[in-house]
Chains A and B, each alone.
Chain A
Amino acid sequence: MPKDKADLLQGTLDMLILRSLEAGPSHGFGVSGVIRRFSEDALQVEQGSLYPALYRLEAEGWIRSEWGISENNRKAKFYELTAAGRSQLRRETANWARMSSAINLVLSHA
């Protein structure tokens, strides 16, 4: 697993999770569903990446979690964006926009 690629993916996944929680609190399955739907099934988040990412984001203080009841009446852990998470999302979105436009510029020159 070459290092650079992993880093890129990880950073992007964080941003996508934060974005999906902007709409409101959700559990892990919900987050993966939102990402899949928003990307029109282009992005499939692997559970092996999703849950560690959720824990990492919580440790960073960008999201917080509490136990609630899910739609099928089960105990579920709901994640919610914190204020710090909101501003982090803004930063990352801006970064992403800058980077993708830069990449597009390069590609369009080819």
Chain B
Amino acid sequence: MAEEMRLHVELQAAEFRETGMKADEAEMKARREFGHMDGIRERCRDENGILWVSHLGQDLRYAWRMLARSPGFTLAAVLTLALGIGVNTAIFSLVDEILLRPLPVTDPGDLVLFHWSSKVDLPVPTSGRWERDPVTQQTTCTSFSLPAFEAIKKRSQALSGITAFAPISSLTVIADGQAEVVGLGQLISGSYFSVMGIAPAAGRLLEATDDRPGAPGVAMVSYGYWMRRFGGDPSTIGRAILVNRVPITIVGVVPRRFPGSLQVGDAPDLFLPLVLARGLGAFEMIDKPDALWWVQIIGRLGAGMGPSQMLSELEPAFQQSALESLKLVGAPPPKSPNDLPTLKVGPGGQGLNELRNEYRQRWEILTGLGIAILAIACANLASLLLARGAARQREMGVRLAMGAGRGRIVRQLLTESILLAGLGGALAVPFAVWVEVGLVAMQPRVEGHTLSLVPQLDPGVFLSAAAISVLTGVIFGLVPAIRASRVNISAEFQGGTSNRAGSRSLLGKLLLVIQVALTLVLLVGAGLFAGTLRNLASVNVGFESRGLLLFHLNPNPDGTSFKAGLAVDNEVAERLRAVPGVASATFSRMPLLSDMGWNTRIGVVGRPPRDDGHNTTMVNFVAGNFFATYGIPIMAGRAVDMADGARGGSVAVVNQAFVREFFGGEDPLGRTLQRPDAGNMPALITVVGVARDASYSAVRDPAPPTIYFPYYSQASAKVEATFAVRASGDPRMLVPLIRETVHSVDPLLPLDDLRTQQAQIGELSATERMFAWLSGVFSVLAVGLVSLGLYGLMSYSVLCRQGEIGLRIALGARPTQVIRMIVRECLLVVGIGVCLGLIGAYAATRIVSSLLFGLSATDPGIFAAGGVLLLLVAVFAGWMPAQRAARVNPMVALHSD
């Protein structure tokens, strides 16, 4: 190209020489006539469409300079993008992980989880969840007895594999002479890992030979536990440990990604063969383990056999074993064969599913929250870009006048938008990780299950959220870009900002209406949850919850020697009472207000059974000083204590709700209660006292009918107990003394779950607190964005209408009238947004109504407060631009157009 142009100059010079010029003069003239060679060359390149890459570099550099020049805009846009992308990436990654993703096993779609359903209550002891269909009243459950598993396994030729497993909690592990309580373990049948189809991370898998009676005790540890407890040391394989005092050899490590097949969020630290269940004390209070329904069954479908055909082959074997279970517990067989439970299968690729359904509602709300935030972020980004585009019309005019191509300017603005989106996206990644970790930490315990997840960002989710934001950036970056490139240059230089303002601010107003509406929805949500927390905090729980310190002891985790275990508990309680600063100490089987419960069927001797079928009561087993320590007054009769064991006979204290429900107000003292499912506990109980009502498992529920038995009558194999220590001062000061005391009784007894009663109550409302916190933080952010947006919009509008305002003032409008006019415009935008937002909130808050307490999901006060708040924001945001409008000098304004 250069060659070609040089030739041109040479030929031109030769021509000039021919006309009689001097050589150097001719060459100079030729050069001058040719013009700027580099400029022409660049335009040639443009024509050819090559070297756009070098333009891209130029555009990026320029875009960077422009962004750096307006740091306020850049910061706002990048943070908005990071917020929108980050929050959504975090929420949807977790939704995927918790609700959607299958287990990381071979062909998870081929796995089926067995369950049974029954029209009538099956009077067999089960551990595991029962679900009752509200419509058909059918009970379904995923727990089976071991004989049922064996029977199904024997006939399972249609399956390519079948395995059983069960959770086992509160394992006490002693390694290197140090005792600790491991939260959770999973018992598995020998075929478990071959059915799942996974390989060990280290060592070997548990196999069928490990699950035979008499086989040496072995276990696999989870990757997390291996790292946490053993520092990932390879010599952990082959190490001997004690689990619930049973000698166990660690033979392998389960891969990091495999969390077992228990409820979602459960992360068992130990995998042990089922055959060890009894030795580990898995069968609490059961003398006939074969009658207990406690294992879950997963099968792998073979090729060519449908589930229904397989079930028809397996069902008779299952029903036969159900009949045997009933015989074992001494229950009568069902009246008709139709009342036998039926065998079913469901998808098993996600392991147990019940808790996943519990999480579903909560994550649906979070999903809604995420979408609202993304929408607000996009609307905000769009208004920012529109405003910036408008503010830069003059710059565009200059660049056009200097000869920049229109396509080039559009491309330049697009580059800026994309650079912004890139910066926002880059910042969104660490932000998303932070939000995700925070969200997981904020997850409340559901029925004693902690959601322990390794937060992972889902690249697909990140890309979708980023794509939405980038698209917004591109579209709303393009609109002003195209407008700007059509700038009428001469108009720009006359200082005109008049004409197209109308359509721009209409789009801007629409975006703000959307933001206002969504912000109101968030505000109403925050208000509802804050009100719920306030209402929950003001509930009288019926006992003195302040100043109580709780901890958990499990002195005989293997279930042997109830008496020795009880002696340890008594000794600990005795010594605690002697500790200075301890006003009182006791222990009970169930902690109060911990979302856990124990109930039993009950009847009053001499009174007809209730016809409404409500014949269950909550149960607790309490040591001496229980009522005094918790501050529950005895209203009549006396409390129960350890001495009741020595006196013989079965006694109990009931609460006032129990008296109302079961005695109909008659005097209960001295009356006899009957427990149909007492097992090996006393079936006939004498009421010796009435306690004032106290909450049992949830603050939301009024005190349920409750029986307090003396602790010794628990007749359980395990002596698990929650200790309660009432401090005379600050309970936290007692923590080291309590540890010391427990240690002095048994140095190898791990003290678990130390917390204050207040903290435990707080945990009950963790869901509500999480939503209050999230919707609160996000609505504050959204209100901030809306006020900025309103301020920007109104400032721009005042600028555009300067001429008109000047005219009005010239014609005699007073400053207050001008101010009122501008503020009214602002109020109109917000007012429309508020109306839409109220409708939106009315629809949206229905999904949270079951989480609210003490107020309705459409609480008019909260709705009104949210609306009024936004209208106030509108007045404030409009005030400053309105003031500016009132100060418009009519002479200047009229001359500028």
Contact = CB atoms under 8 A, between A and B. Distances in A.
Interface stretch (B37-45, B285-293, B450-458): B37-45
B34 A59 contact: no
Interface stretch (A47-55, A80-88, A89-97, A102-110): A47-55
Nearest to B42: A52
A70 B11 contact: yes
Interface string A26-62: 0111001000000000000011100111111011000
Contacts of B47: 52-53, 55-56, 59
A76 interface: yes
B132 to A, nearest CB: 75
Contacts of B43: 48, 51-52
B4 A76 contact: yes
B35 A27 contact: no
B7 A48 contact: no
B40 A28 contact: no
Contacts of A47: 5, 8, 33-35, 40
Interface in B262-316: none
Contacts of A54: 44
B40 A1 contact: no
Interface residues of A, number: 22
Interface size class of B (residues with CB under 8 A): 20 to 34
A51 B11 contact: no
A92 to B, nearest CB: 18
Nearest to A60: B47
Query: From DSSP, what is the main secondary structure of chain A's interface residues?
Result: helix
A25 to B, nearest CB: 14
Interface string B1-27: 101110110111010000000000000
B403 interface: yes
B44 A28 contact: no
Given A27-B4, A28-B4, A51 B12 contact: no
A64 interface: no
Contacts of A59: 47-49
Interface string B393-416: 000000000010000000000000
Contacts of B14: 72
A52 B47 CA distance: 6
B403 A51 contact: no
Contact of B44 (A55, A70, A72, A74): A55
A48 B40 contact: yes
A77 B8 CA distance: 10
Contacts of A5: none
A29 B10 CA distance: 10
Interface string B123-151: 00000000000000000000000000000
A29 B4 CA distance: 9
Contact of B403 (A1, A27, A29, A75): A1
Nearest to B406: A3
A48 B44 contact: no
A9 B4 CA distance: 23
A70 B7 contact: yes
Contact of A52 (B4, B11, B36, B44): B44
B46 interface: yes
A46 B7 CA distance: 15
B483 to A, nearest CB: 15
Nearest to B35: A48
Nearest to B34: A47
Kindly name the residue among A28, A46, A47, A76 whose own CB sees the greatest number of chain B CB atoms within 10 A.
A47
Interface string B661-701: 00000000000000000000000000000000000000000
Contacts of A32: 8
A77 B40 CA distance: 16
Given A51-B43, A70-B7, 18 more contacts: A1-B403, A28-B8, A29-B11, A32-B8, A47-B33, A51-B1, A51-B4, A52-B40, A52-B43, A52-B44, A55-B44, A55-B47, A56-B48, A58-B48, A59-B48, A72-B14, A74-B10, A76-B4
Interface of A: 1, 27-29, 32, 46-48, 51-56, 58-59, 70, 72, 74-77
9 contacts: A27-B7, A29-B8, A47-B5, A47-B34, A47-B40, A51-B4, A51-B5, A54-B44, A59-B47
